Structure 1
Amino acid sequence: MQPGGESDMASAGMERVKFLGNLETDGSLQLSDLRASENGTYGLRLILSNPRKKQEEEKWIIVISVKVMDSPPAPQIQPPSELRESTLAHVVCSVAYHCPDYPITLTWIGLGHGTPELTMRTESGSTENTLTFTPTWQDHGTNLSCRLSTPAGTPSSESSVVLDVKYAPKGVQLNVTPGQTIREGDRLVLMCMTNGSNPPIFTYKWRKDTEYLHQGQEQKWEFEAKGDEHSGSYLCEAVNEISLVRSPELRIDVQYAPKDARVELLMGSPIQEGTMVVLSCSCRAHPVVSSYTWYKNGQHIPAQTQQQLRFDKIHADQSGSYHCKPQNRVGMSESPAITVDVQYAPKEVRITLVTALYIWEGSTVMLNCSVGSSNPPVTKYTWYKEIIPGGNLLEKHPILI
């Protein structure tokens, strides 16, 4: 051995030098209690001695540069190329040190789970502690340290790494503003919220019922709510390089005032006096209509608040223009008017004598048949003459004049 002279180690006493190997395959040598003055190049010198041959010259076959430091080097941490949630991982902490008589300790700090395994590797001249654990997404960003301690337990040096754990989006939730129950025309804002994602989310997808409506890089989507078109069950999907994660569904209820109001004739067409007639006010509304207001010829019909306006025996004077106004808690709408035309037979039919009251045989007589009202108008007049045979039975015979 030659750290500047063979006598240096010899003068210190051979008790600090121990040959650990053998003469065939292993030339390991242990040097204890090295001092800073013993920096230098060390090696194994092989002397071949053969009684049959002349002793050969001394030969160096292994040369090692030794640098004695005041304090041990910081340990080196070697994480795997990628840490992924739920995938078993091994993180190695090592230091270029191997001395069975002066064993150091490598301790992991910062992770609450995992199984450490401390080993000494003679072939590489190192001491290692391998931490085996299954990462969770909460481990991302954790400061994991490896501490080197002396045999007495005194901390000597320390190294750290920040864990970069890859995981799918977590805690995906859909938030709705101003709320799940809104009115038509309100500005609806959907936010896809997450508790974390590594790598970052690159796409957000929005679904209503079974149909995808929108996707993009923004976690917010907003639009003006429109009645039945936008009522339904919504969810969002957050996508990163690891996986796609869906939020729970939210039911959005878009309420609106009655629309497309109209009056329909359910019974009686054409309408004849004395028959039953039913008018119905129909519309689209959400929530449902709470009350109806009926009008005839523009005038409010009192005490009529139901969807149907019924006439059990309609009269001629109930003809007119009818319309309705359905109302819910959002608002009111007005239907177009329809005309109710009640038909009836001629009324107030009278015969009047147009000529003089005293009629002479052979003179001309004129009779007039007048009608008070008729719907539809009179289209035909039939005249009758009464005959009283025997003075008992009254008969009527049509006559033409």
Structure 2
Amino acid sequence: MKNLVWLLFFPGFLCNLNPLRINPDSLVTWNGSCVVIPCQINQYMGALLSNISLLWYHQPFYDTNQSDYLGHLLYYIFTISGMYGTQVQSSPASRLEFVGNLQDNLETKDCSLKISQVRMEDNGIYGVKLFASYNRPVQLNKWFLNATINVAESPPDPKMDLNPKDIQEGWIRVTCFVPYHCPAEPLRLTISGLEKTRLSSQETTISNGMIQTVVNLEMTWEDHGKSLVCSLEEQNGLEISKSTMQLYVKYAPKDVRVIASPGMTIRAGETLSLECTRSSSNPEVYQYLWYKDDQLMFEWLKLKKIEFETEGDQHSGAYRCEAKNSVGSEKSEELRIDVQYAPRDVWLIASPGTSIHEGERLSLKCMLKSSTPEVSEYLWYKDDQVMDEWKNFKKIEFEAETDQHSGIYRCEAKNSFGTQKSEELVIDVQSHLHYSSSLPTSGYQRTTESGGPQSSPASPSTTKSVSSCDGRTLWEEFSFLRELPNQAGKPRTQFIHSCKELTSAVIHLTEKFRKALLQIRERTRPVPNEIKKQ
């Protein structure tokens, strides 16, 4: 029976029947710290164990001659009728402490051993031997189980774990932990390195051979590259060890902008350069998109920088770009490009037309296709002479008079980038001049041979066309003036006129000159038969 009982302890052989349990069975501690080997005694075959004796060994071994486990005995604990008895074999005794509870009525009994002020020589294997009876108190059974303690010269650095591990903007869970097997002498872990306003409250816990602290952290893109620090401290705040983790935060491109060179205002014909920039991006941008007046420009797809020669309204407008990476994208604000140029396609409009009658109202308007910036000045020309009185008027209006307003007109539009003139526009003001063979106007009086006044008001029946005077052409009508001898002190006057086209010089004779002409005509024309008959 003795041999059968010890077979239960060989590795892999009915190990589930061993009431002893050590978990974890590999412990980490460091020089000067403490360690508790967590040991439990469970029921065996469904029965409570009684009359328990425990022996703790350092570096145990199995002696085949004695068919028993032996080693350097550290601690011996036994119970007699529920009373404890202990025998400490190690020196100094103050470094060992039984921290368990072996009362008979406990279904699970605690057989843990604490070692304080750990030394490097404490490294190694520890074994516990259990003597106990069940069902039949007269028969004792024995079991054995071991554990390993690894003693380091200095405390281990805490480790940190992130959830999720792929950090993006938003909330993450940060866990800092370090192996620790001495809950009787608690330590604490503290996470620092970021603003406290974005850290949730921290609480350190010790369980299952691990001391850990957990915080929730709101990450922003500005946290990329910063460091989190986890510190292992004593209760008085003295730092024992620490570890640092550099944060790798993924985020979409930030502060995307369009940079224009040489500027947002440019002269037509100059080369414009537009570059899509961002202040930061993680990972890097892999695609750029361009928009003009909210329309996607496919020809500039994936280009970070674009250049083109500006032409005018075709390239003026609102530009924006969009930068993309594997996390997301961001669009820039609109940048308005103003391509400026001199006025284009200037022309004149005459209303009601280019051929009008004397006395009609003529309207001339200077038109143009486009101008950037707006036209700042208009100039007017008549027969290549600048009309200063019409300066800066886009539209002029006046009552047409034959010789004064007939002629060749042009307008010129100016802005800060240049000027352009319209084509010539010929305005022909046609005369309404009519007169009678006796009197040119109503109310005109002349003296006859008898000296009496005579009034000959004009009437439709006596009115002659300007192209005929008593059956003669105007050339014949005024040809006598060419034949008059020069008067003393008076120059000789000549008139040349075509009956087909009346020039403006004849239409606007002054009243005085017209009267003089009529007086000369009266003295030289033959007396009508009806007068002669008188």
The bucket for the TM-score relative to the shorter chain is 0.7 to 0.9
Letter in 2 for 1:121: I
Q: Which of 320, 326, 346 is matched with 2:413 structurally?
A: 326
Gaps of 5+ in 2: 1-55, 60-70, 76-88, 433-465, 468-472, 478-495, 504-525
Give the superposition deviation at 1:118. 3.3
Give the superposition deviation at 1:128. 0.5
> What aligned pairs does 1:369-384 form with structure 2 within 5 A after superposition?
372-375=498-501
> What aligned pairs does 1:2-401 form with structure 2 within 5 A after superposition?
2-4=57-59, 5-8=71-74, 10-12=89-91, 13=93, 16-20=96-100, 24-25=107-108, 28-50=112-134, 51=136, 54-56=139-141, 58-61=142-145, 63-80=146-163, 81-85=165-169, 87-113=170-196, 114-123=199-208, 125-213=209-297, 216-283=301-368, 284-305=370-391, 306-316=393-403, 318-344=405-431, 349-351=474-476, 372-375=498-501
Letter in 1 for 2:315: H
Q: Judge which range, 177-186 or 138-147, deviates more.
A: 177-186
In structure 1, how many angstroms separate the alpha carbons of the residues matched to 2:500 and 2:396? 25
Gaps of 5+ in 1: 353-369, 378-385, 393-401
In structure 1, how many angstroms separate the alpha carbons of the residues matched to 2:294 and 2:475? 74
In structure 2, how many angstroms separate the alpha carbons of the residues matched to 1:147 and 1:373? 117
| Partners of 1:183 and 1:254 within 8 A in 2 | yes
Deviations 1:206-265 (A, max 9, x none): 333332336544443343333223333333333333333333334333322100111222
CA distance 1:104–1:169, shift in 2 (3 Å): same
SS in 1 for 2:219: coil
Deviations 1:339-364 (A, max 9, x none): 33444575671447xxxxxxxxxxxx
CA distance 1:82–1:21, shift in 2 (3 Å): farther
| Partners of 1:277 and 1:314 within 8 A in 2 | no
Aligned-residue CA RMSD in angstroms?
3.5
In structure 2, how many angstroms separate the alpha carbons of the residues matched to 1:233 and 1:122? 63
| Partners of 2:289 and 2:303 within 8 A in 1 | no
More helix per residue? 2
CA distance 1:162–1:291, shift in 2 (3 Å): same
Letter in 1 for 2:501: N
In structure 2, how many angstroms separate the alpha carbons of the residues matched to 1:350 and 1:344? 17
Give the superposition deviation at 1:296. 4.2
Q: Judge which range, 152-161 or 182-191, deviates more.
A: 182-191
Letter in 1 for 2:97: V
| Partners of 1:225 and 1:254 within 8 A in 2 | yes
CA distance 1:64–1:313, shift in 2 (3 Å): same
Q: Judge which range, 233-242 or 31-40, deviates more.
A: 233-242
In structure 2, how many angstroms separate the alpha carbons of the residues matched to 1:14 and 1:43? 20
SS in 2 for 1:117: coil
Deviations 1:296-355 (A, max 9, x none): 454545544232354522425754443332111111112222333444575671447xxx
CA distance 1:237–1:190, shift in 2 (3 Å): same
Percent identical pairs in the alignment equals: 34
CA distance 1:182–1:373, shift in 2 (3 Å): farther
Letter in 1 for 2:178: V
| Partners of 2:475 and 2:499 within 8 A in 1 | no
Letter in 2 for 1:6: H
| Partners of 2:176 and 2:213 within 8 A in 1 | yes
Q: Judge which range, 93-102 or 286-295, deviates more.
A: 286-295
Letter in 1 for 2:157: A
| Partners of 1:3 and 1:39 within 8 A in 2 | no
